[in-house]
Homo-oligomer: A and B are copies of this chain.
């Protein structure tokens, strides 16, 4: 798939370097944090946790935490802890969504999905352990010295992950294979399944930095736009990309008869819409003066990526 948006490349290199170095830091923390196999009976769980979490992902959600934290002067150390928790929640959702009873995906991040590499039981438990570990991390004082900030984060992240967010969205998505969804229902589905965790990843920086309501609202509006833009791009990659590029199975939506934003409005209109959303997202950041430049560039990056 070629890039469909020829936007200004200003700052792209800097953004990519920033994403890359953040990904390395996230990897180091996860590597340190996850238990190592050590001859215990349950070693297989530890192997699966490391296999899933340390595989090379895009790390967009944790990057949002770090980038928004940066805009509010939050220490990188604190931001990275929350970012890792968000990445664990994202990773758990991929492992469970890939299960045969769910989306039945054998391929993820360029390698066999967890239940193919190990087995279904291990994949279910690996997801459960990652979700639980995320909340353990968020509750820890190294995430933020103020426990009130930590409980606010936990509350928002739990709501975004649970039945009103990711879990509810995945339930809708499964049922969408047997029902024809209207465009507005697909939008609601995507807001829950992808948008909610995107939104809270952006808001995390504002919560950690105890930002004003105005700035929080601006970030949330930005996040809502790039969340949908991200999902449209995912759908486009499923429709037009290759497994080699994306690292996961493609053409799944069509073969499963899934209603997506792209199937609702068509490929060309979807590309236009993603770009409009990215531009709208950027508008919301003007209130930050120059402090959110990386986030602005990120909005374009999200609709231009090819994986």
Contacts and interface: CB of A to CB of B under 8 A. Distances in A.
Interface of A: 35, 41-42, 44-46, 49, 92, 96, 99, 101-102, 119-122, 124-125, 127-129, 131-133, 135-136, 138-141, 147-148, 150-152, 154-155, 158-159, 161-163, 167-172, 174-176, 179, 181, 185, 189
Contacts of A174: 121
19 contacts: A35-B163, A41-B171, A41-B189, A42-B168, A42-B171, A44-B175, A45-B171, A49-B163, A96-B124, A99-B121, A101-B121, A101-B124, A102-B124, A124-B124, A132-B161, A135-B135, A139-B158, A151-B151, A151-B154
Contacts of A49: 163
A121 to B, nearest CB: 5
B162 A136 contact: yes
B45 A168 contact: yes
Contacts of A181: 41
B128 A101 contact: no
Given A122-B171, A147-B150, A154-B135, A129 B162 contact: yes
